Amino acid sequence: MPRGGKKGHKGRGKQFSNPEEIDRQMRKQRELEANGGEEKDSEASNSDSSSDEECENKKKSGVEGLIEIENPNRVSTKSKKVAELDLNAPKELSRREREEIEKQKAKERYMKLHLEGKTEQARADLARLAIIKKQREDAAKKRDDIKKDKEVVHETKAKR
């Protein structure tokens, strides 16, 4: 079946411009604006060949090679000289790093209060420990009483 179904294919196929051709056209337009509308064939052909070599030397990442953008809001990164770097300046932390540090400090504060017995959990733990201690003392007292009773029984049997 032909392209487009029964009715046939209408319209042309898509044609994409070559990025190098777009660059060449942009350069020509800039040269015309700079020269005031005068263009010489010999100069244009020489400049095209030299500028093509410059473009091949420069590697642009991403879409930069395809589209030239002049965005006034775009911040260009400027490299700093070693003399300009301030090593004593405080390093700005990312949000995650700040949150992590705050989390650690909060945990340290809580542990300090916990060890002093000022938190609710510490109070509950101390109350539980007191109950367990009392139970163990009572159990030890009972064992001692039972032991004494057995000794008394053995003594009375030995006397008979």
> Does pTM surpass 0.85?
no
For residue 32, give both structure tokens. 């015309």
Task: Tell me what the pLDDT averaged over the chain comes to.
Answer: 78
**DSSP 8-state symbol, 62:** G
Q: Which of 16-25, 26-35, 54-63, 137-146 has the highest mean pLDDT?
A: 137-146
The share of the chain scoring above pLDDT 90, in percent, equals: 29
The region of weakest confidence among 16-25, 34-43, 113-122 is 34-43
For residue 73, give both structure tokens. 């809001």
C-alpha span between 60 and 72 (Å, rounded):
19
User: Who has greater pLDDT, 137 or 44?
Assistant: 137
Using one digit for the tens of pLDDT, what is the confidence trace for 35-55?
Answer: 865 544 444 444 455 555 555
C-alpha span between 33 and 29 (Å, rounded):
6
Report the amino acid identity of residue 130. A
